[in-house]
Chains A and B, each alone.
Chain A
Amino acid sequence: MSNMPQFPQKEIKPIPPAKKYPPALLNQKYMLPVDKIHEVYEDGNVVGIECSLLISLYHGSPLSMIRSIKVKYDALEYENDPMKFTVNGHTYNFEEMKTMSTMFWEYGEYAQLFIPIPGGVGLGRHRLEVGIAFNGSATRGINHAWAVAEINLIEN
């Protein structure tokens, strides 16, 4: 038996197709700070990069309401797993996060996203794009925002 609530009998005011609107700009500027992107090492080898993210909503959110996180690192693209998400010092995969309704990504606090990059990250310039989509609060649909960071990896 479905637990879906009864559809309310009000008039529908459809929102025009999203493609007509510019991408969501809210909080992009500080969402993905360039100085908090660094390589991740395992046994002396670079296995990926980790970036820090501020939540793109105007309030905190339980992890279960993160609809998806999409990443593009140069030509490499990921959505959710196998990336890992760390909040309040605890690391989770996206499959686990589906039901984590009591662990919060707090407003104004950084979460870390680990992006595995097979074969290492390579020196030189790279472009990192991160898009986050939340199940909407209030009367909105899906809240989404994206941010871009250009990084330049140099040899130590």
Chain B
Amino acid sequence: MSSKDIKLGVSLYSYQEAIWRGDLDLEGALTAVKGCGGEGVEIFGETLIPSFPYVSNDFLYKWFYMLDNLQLEPVCYEHFADRRFWKDPNRYLNDDEVFEVTMQYLRSAKKLGCKFIRLSHDGHNGRWIMNDEPDHTVVNAQVFERLLPYAAELGVRMALEVHGPGLLQDGGNDDFLEAMDRTGHEGGGLMLDLSGCFRDMLPLEINLMLTLGAKPEIIEYLRENCRKAYTYDGNNQVDWDAVEEKIRAMGAGPIELGILNGGPGSQGCMREKLITPPDVLEQYAPQLIYVHGKMHTMNEDCTSDELDYYRILRALARGGYQGYVSTEFEGQRTVPHTLNEVEYVRRQHVLMRKCLAQLAEEGL
């Protein structure tokens, strides 16, 4: 186990606005990845490959030419399994059709030189499904099991991304992992999205609460205590009853109290924020095949409120994770067209490289 086994990459999702406006094309985005020091790249076919769902030879030539020039490695190809592919609800895709759609993604990933596809699967949010519509299912465990031998043969693994509010440890991917154990095929593996480790409120949540009338000073006080409670630095005990007393004295109303205690229609509460702490992450690290470095914001001095990167990377290194941590910048979706995506990705890479260097100095 070593921090040297952890490499840094970027998902081109991070530059979505610049690509959408036409400020960056594929070559520009790859150059930005190299510019921030990244070594690997994740690509969306739907966004950047004109011949999608297929990969033309023309595109392949340009793709490998650019990657060779910039000394970048293709790592992951994003997958979607939209059951509601046709407008007619009686014509939603069945399991056989989802199987075929995913096979095309696997073949495309192989052509692009990618090691993984980030699978859109039923365990994406762990034990949760985010609405109660029957057509919510994407790739279920049965389709996954059918795909395993083909993925193994192609040498492309299906990364089972666990994204917040789901957690690695909540059992929501057990049926997928059992399918792998049962068949013995190495066509898949667990993938972590760091949104499951966030210690702070998301910018989108903060904006929403402020829009609904929460007082900014109370939000800041709650966030300060949230970061303290969920950093797990040995000094993370917070007396939430005292926090509630303090915010009531500050004039907290139902919105602020709802953030702290939860309430009707809320998705959890700050008192019992369910995240994957570093010690649990360390246990799962050997099983992980890929990590998305989800990021909504970075401070100007390249520090982060939302994650303690040192602890996260130390847990991965100690646990023996070998692979990429690919930046997935999502902050632009909170404040569209105001953030410089290239700059935010750069800041995260500065911080992650600093943490990895510190771990190397400590002998890890």
Residues of A within 8 A of B (CB): 2-8, 10-17, 20-22, 25-30, 54-55, 58-62, 64-67, 97-99, 101, 104, 106-108, 135-141
Residue of B22, B95, B130, B333 touching A26 (CB-CB under 8 A): B333
B46 proximity list for chain A (CB < 8 A): 59-61, 104, 107
Q: Mark B106-138, 1 if CB is under 8 A from A, else 0.
A: 000000000000001011110111111111111
Residues of B within 8 A of A10 (CB): 122-123, 127-129, 172
Given contacts A8-B137, A10-B129, A139-B130, 18 further A-B contacts (CB under 8 A): A5-B94, A10-B128, A12-B129, A13-B130, A15-B131, A20-B212, A25-B336, A26-B333, A26-B336, A27-B336, A29-B337, A59-B47, A61-B46, A98-B87, A99-B86, A107-B48, A108-B21, A140-B130
What is the CB-to-nearest-CB distance from A68 to chain B, in angstroms, rounded to a whole number? 9
> How far apart are B313's CB and chain A's nearest CB, in angstroms?
27
Bound-state CA distance A10–B131 (Å) is: 11
Determine if B265 is an interface residue (Cβ-Cβ < 8 Å). yes
**Residue contact A8 to B336, C-beta cutoff 8 Å:** no
- The B interface is mostly helix, strand or loop, or mixed, namely loop
Residues of A within 8 A of B211 (CB): 22
Count of interface residues, chain B, beta-carbon cutoff 8 Å:
54
A98: which of B88, B122, B124 is its contact (CB, 8 Å)? B88
A2 to B88, CA, bound (A): 13
- Contact call B83/A8, Cβ cutoff below 8 A: no
Tell me if B84 and A20 are in contact (CB < 8 A).
Answer: no
Which residues of B in the span 186-240 have a Cβ within 8 Å of any Cβ on A?
208, 211-212
**B254, CB-defined interface residue at 8 Å:** no
Determine the residue in chain B with the shortest Cβ distance to A104: B52
In the assembled complex, 15 residue pairs joining A and B whose CB atoms fall closer than 8 Å, in A order, are A2-B90, A3-B92, A7-B137, A8-B140, A12-B128, A13-B125, A58-B16, A58-B20, A62-B85, A65-B82, A101-B85, A104-B52, A138-B120, A139-B124, A140-B130
Chain B's closest residue to A64 (CB) is B86
Neighbouring B residues of A4 by C-beta, 8 Å: 92, 94, 134-135
Q: With a CB–CB cut-off of 8 A, which chain A residues contact B85?
A: 62, 64-65, 101, 135
B331 interface contact, C-beta 8 A: no
Complex contact A8–B122 (CB within 8 A) = yes
Least CB distance from A3 to B in Å reads: 4
Q: Is the CB of B265 within 8 A of A17?
A: yes
Q: What CA separation (Å) do A6 and B208 show in the bound complex? A: 35
Q: Give Cα A65–Cα B80 distance, bound, in whole angstroms.
A: 13
User: Which A residues are CB-close (under 8 A) to B86?
Assistant: 64, 98-99, 101
Beta-carbon contacts under 8 Å, B1-59 to A: 13, 16-17, 19-22, 44, 46-48, 50, 52
B287 near A: Cβ within 8 Å?
no
